Structure 1
Amino acid sequence: MVKKIVLLILCLTAIASYSQSGNGTVSPYSFGGIGDFRPQTTIENQAMGGLSMYTDSIHVNLNNPAAYGKLRLVTYTAGGGHKEVKLKDFTDKESSSVTTLEYIALAFPISPKFGIGFGVLPYTAVGYNVFSQTTNVTQDTVVNQFTGDGGLNKLFLSAGYEITKNLHVGATVNYSFGNIEYQSVQSIEGVQYGTINIRESEISGYDFNYGATYTPRIKNKYTLFSSVTVNTQANLVSSNTERLGSFSLSTGEEIEVRDVNLEPSNLRNTELKIPTRTTFGLGLGRDKKWFIGAEYSLQAVSSFRNDFIDPENIAYEDANTLRVGGYYVPDYASFTSYLKRITYRAGARTSKTGLIVNDTSIHDFGITFGLGLPVGGGFSNMNIGFEYGKRGTTVANLIEETYFKVSVGLSFNDKWFQKRKIN
């Protein structure tokens, strides 16, 4: 057991270092707020449209801590994904891709009614490179380049408890941390030097996630799934720096780039408040056979502000997301057909992201499907998920993203804290 804990700690350290150094997005829309919010669910949940309401005794649930009260086996889980993205506006098209680790976690039961879990996962990601070209009053070409890099990671500790039969509650404490760098460069035709502005934020802070599930039996054959989660306002502190100066267009060498004193404008340290998100879920299923459900989330993003990074063409509005999905298992106990033991998942989601660019609301839509492949003779499994979606629009001089994502997750089960028996 000690070896397994040490191995997990090493993995947590490795993924935190990896996710800090790489981009988790290539979206131009990641320049808003504190970047793109990454999925906070496992691959098996993502394949059902992102539903987090479904809970059982052998899988980790990253978004609903009440699920840990159901655990009966120790579970190690990790996941990663590869996304192909096509960007287009009225005149141009461009393709890009990104590969990321998405989470790693360990969960285990302490008693038949109480379980805990902990892990690390990316929280937000910034990764964009946008050009704009205009002419000035003397008809010279002015080129502006805006780039962003970085993001936040999240360490979490969760606990869930069974209050009475079929009623579970739980809580999670999250610690978010990371760095984001924003850079803008401007050059003018015929001018030897360009201007450069570099802004960097080191961000950290806490938030909490509370969840409850109620899963009564119906006619001893079906289960009604109902859930509610409340992710409280994240109170983040951003320590900021800014450098401003010029550079040589021929060599790229910085010239007279100086630190900006942010104290007079009260921007040296700023607060970022990510509004509370509330999610309600309802579904119906038959144990180890099928499940179908829906979730609705709402978040008052209109109250968000980032005083240090405040582009003129960006505003915020209240966000919401609707998810539907489910799974089907032909025969989980089949000895003759492996295909019958596979879990087949599918779903869809649609969301108003809360981001307004050029007075246009940014929406996101995706369809998902996936497979849960049994591994070995126990309850361990490998989960493969696929997602196709669109975000944004080509109107109002904006960009439309079309993406296809392939994800793979591993979920291994074990038994701890059991006394050895001698026959």
Structure 2
Amino acid sequence: MIKNILVIILLCISVSLLAQRTSSSPYSYFGIGDEFSSRTVEQNSMGGIGVAFSHYKYLNFTNPAAYANLRYTTYSFGALNKDLSVKTASSNQSSTSTNLSYIAFAFPIGKTAGFSFSMQPVSSVGYSLTNSRVEAGITQELNFFSGNGGVNRFSGSFGIQVYKGLSLGIEADFNFGNVENSIINQKRDVALATKYIETSKVRGGSVKFGAQYLKELKDGLLLNVGATAKLGNDLTVTGENYLYSLVLSGSGGESPRDTLNLGDQNNDGIPDNIIDGKFTLPLKSTFGVGLGKTDKWYAGVEYETQNAISTSGLLANVNGAYRYGNSNRISLGGYFLPKVNSISSYWERVTYRAGVRYENTGLLADGSGNNTNFTQINDFGITFGLGLPLKRLSNVNLGFEYGKRGTMQNNLIEETYFNFRLSLSLTDNWFVKRKID
């Protein structure tokens, strides 16, 4: 009873945290925002691997086929604290943000299948940027960019063993969220500034298929092979935008004046203040292989690839500030568990995890302002973590990650970050008939 009450309380808190999520990354300016890692704390602590990994009590957000091996009902809650340092050629800034990573619930169905339901953030928008035009040492024009909001998702996953060692899975999700972007333009010797503001809703669903194959080798070694294919899908962007004049005070306050009618300059029969666009994501494929012994150790490698994303109707790209190319990621990682049932030492029952990853995000940004000098944005991270056992099979997982994203070349931004991740996994036995002596 106490555990059920705790789960309900954590569920309410988690839903509230989803609504209050924030981001402080300048890269959240692009597309639908700064994307979150759709992985558990355990997976992130191993460099992000998971497509070939399965376990009888751990959740897996990478490959739905892994739920075929789930043997215990598991509630899991994850949170992320991010310390971010932003560096340009002329300045440094730092910030801290905290948000929910996921809330998930999974349970086995018989001895060969399992199901999982989860809520996760997909992306977060939270930026405030300034751009100026200077001539002869005098500022002639200022542009202030700001945005907030984000996208969440509900997902359901099912995995089943269809043949000895071979499991298949399917995941379906629904993405939803609200994003607001704005640009204020102030010119020298002009009394009124202008502000363009866009409020939009993001909606869309996707489907992922997964497969895993487990082969037992000599001396208890297990060879794991896995693959997933997330089908291409569209996230629709609908909403409204407005352009109006205003007076800016010295303290940054705004006094709106007249709203300007945008009309129908495209002559397409649709008022220009109506947003009707989309965010198109192509097929994403992930492959991986791993080797290990159950509750002893595991080491794996994973590769993910996706063709270029395309967008339309997103404010951040009205001036051609960015575009997308093909993206890919390679991750290496694993865990070591000294002695799962040790009585003499608690630390021998702790799971030690580590990994490394390198990612070409697919984002190409132009810092020159002339839309001709696009630079690829890459992300590199080193991870490690601890799985601290509680009573029975439940555990607390700690994850640490140090990484860098972006570059200061071509007038762009380099981010250095330290992520601290925390999850609580409550594991229990459901649907088991009690035995009476």
For Structure 1 versus Structure 2, the TM-score category normalised by the shorter chain is over 0.9
Confirm or deny: 8 A CA contact 2:109 2:115 kept in the other structure. yes
- Which residues of structure 1 form unaligned runs of 5+? none
C-alpha distance in 1, partners of 2:382/2:150? 26
**Higher mean displacement: 230-239 or 35-44:** 230-239
Aligned equivalent of 2:267: none
Secondary structure at the residue paired with 1:15?
helix
Aligned equivalent of 1:254: 256
**Higher mean displacement: 14-23 or 198-207:** 14-23
Q: TM-score, normalised by structure 2?
A: 0.91
For residues 316-327 of structure 1, what are the structure 2 equivalents within 5 Å? 316-327=324-335
C-alpha distance in 1, partners of 2:340/2:435? 30
Q: Report the AA paired with residue 50 of structure 2.
A: S
**Residues 420 and 260 from structure 1, CA distance in 2 versus in 1: closer, same or farther, beyond 3 angstroms?**
farther
Pairing 1:391–2:390 present: no
C-alpha distance in 1, partners of 2:429/2:314? 49
Pairing 1:159–2:194 present: no
C-alpha distance in 2, partners of 1:75/1:132? 48
Pairing 1:361–2:402 present: no
Pairing 1:298–2:300 present: no
Q: Report the AA paired with residue 158 of structure 2.
A: A
**Residues 136 and 191 from structure 1, CA distance in 2 versus in 1: closer, same or farther, beyond 3 angstroms?**
farther
Pairing 1:31–2:29 present: yes
Q: Report the AA paired with residue 178 of structure 1.
A: G
**Residues 162 and 259 from structure 1, CA distance in 2 versus in 1: closer, same or farther, beyond 3 angstroms?**
farther
Confirm or deny: 8 A CA contact 2:132 2:139 kept in the other structure. no
Q: Quote how far apart the aligned CAs of 1:258 are.
A: 5.2
Deviations, residues 124-159 of structure 1 (Å, cap 9, x unaligned)? 111111111113699553211111111110100111
Secondary structure at the residue paired with 2:311?
coil
Secondary structure at the residue paired with 1:119?
strand
| Residue of 386, 391, 396 corresponding to 1:371 | 386
| Residue of 395, 404, 422 corresponding to 1:408 | 422
Secondary structure at the residue paired with 2:145?
strand
Q: Quote how far apart the aligned CAs of 1:274 are.
A: 1.5
Q: Quote how far apart the aligned CAs of 1:338 are.
A: 0.6
Secondary structure at the residue paired with 2:410?
helix
Aligned equivalent of 2:45: 47
**Residues 51 and 379 from structure 1, CA distance in 2 versus in 1: closer, same or farther, beyond 3 angstroms?**
same
Pairing 1:421–2:428 present: no
Aligned equivalent of 1:280: 287
Confirm or deny: 8 A CA contact 1:20 1:151 kept in the other structure. no
C-alpha distance in 1, partners of 2:134/2:195? 19
Pairing 1:341–2:355 present: no
**Residues 13 and 300 from structure 1, CA distance in 2 versus in 1: closer, same or farther, beyond 3 angstroms?**
farther
Q: Quote how far apart the aligned CAs of 1:21 are.
A: 3.1
Deviations, residues 368-387 of structure 1 (Å, cap 9, x unaligned)? 000000011x1111100000
**Residues 79 and 339 from structure 1, CA distance in 2 versus in 1: closer, same or farther, beyond 3 angstroms?**
same
Confirm or deny: 8 A CA contact 1:52 1:63 kept in the other structure. yes
C-alpha distance in 2, partners of 1:92/1:241? 35
C-alpha distance in 2, partners of 1:408/1:140? 46
Aligned equivalent of 1:332: 340
- Which residues of structure 2 form unaligned runs of 5+? 265-269, 367-373
Deviations, residues 189-248 of structure 1 (Å, cap 9, x unaligned)? 443321111011101111011111111111141000110011111222211210111121
Confirm or deny: 8 A CA contact 2:75 2:106 kept in the other structure. yes
**Residues 253 and 22 from structure 1, CA distance in 2 versus in 1: closer, same or farther, beyond 3 angstroms?**
farther
C-alpha distance in 1, partners of 2:231/2:241? 31
Secondary structure at the residue paired with 2:67?
helix
**Residues 343 and 192 from structure 1, CA distance in 2 versus in 1: closer, same or farther, beyond 3 angstroms?**
same
Indicate the percent of aligned positions where both proteins have the same amino acid: 37
Confirm or deny: 8 A CA contact 2:262 2:272 kept in the other structure. no
What is the RMSD of the two structures over their aligned residues, measured on CA atoms? 2.1
**Residues 261 and 46 from structure 1, CA distance in 2 versus in 1: closer, same or farther, beyond 3 angstroms?**
farther
C-alpha distance in 2, partners of 1:407/1:49? 13
| Residue of 308, 316, 324 corresponding to 2:314 | 308
Confirm or deny: 8 A CA contact 1:81 1:406 kept in the other structure. yes
**Residues 138 and 26 from structure 1, CA distance in 2 versus in 1: closer, same or farther, beyond 3 angstroms?**
closer
Secondary structure at the residue paired with 1:283?
strand
Q: Report the AA paired with residue 311 of structure 2.
A: R
C-alpha distance in 2, partners of 1:15/1:258? 41
For residues 234-253 of structure 1, what are the structure 2 equivalents within 5 Å? 234-250=233-249, 251-253=253-255
Q: TM-score, normalised by structure 1?
A: 0.94
Aligned equivalent of 1:289: 296
C-alpha distance in 1, partners of 2:96/2:228? 32
Secondary structure at the residue paired with 1:363?
strand
Q: Quote how far apart the aligned CAs of 1:9 are.
A: 6.7
Q: Quote how far apart the aligned CAs of 1:256 are.
A: 1.7
Q: Quote how far apart the aligned CAs of 1:171 are.
A: 0.5
Confirm or deny: 8 A CA contact 1:242 1:259 kept in the other structure. no
**Residues 192 and 21 from structure 1, CA distance in 2 versus in 1: closer, same or farther, beyond 3 angstroms?**
farther
C-alpha distance in 1, partners of 2:8/2:166? 32
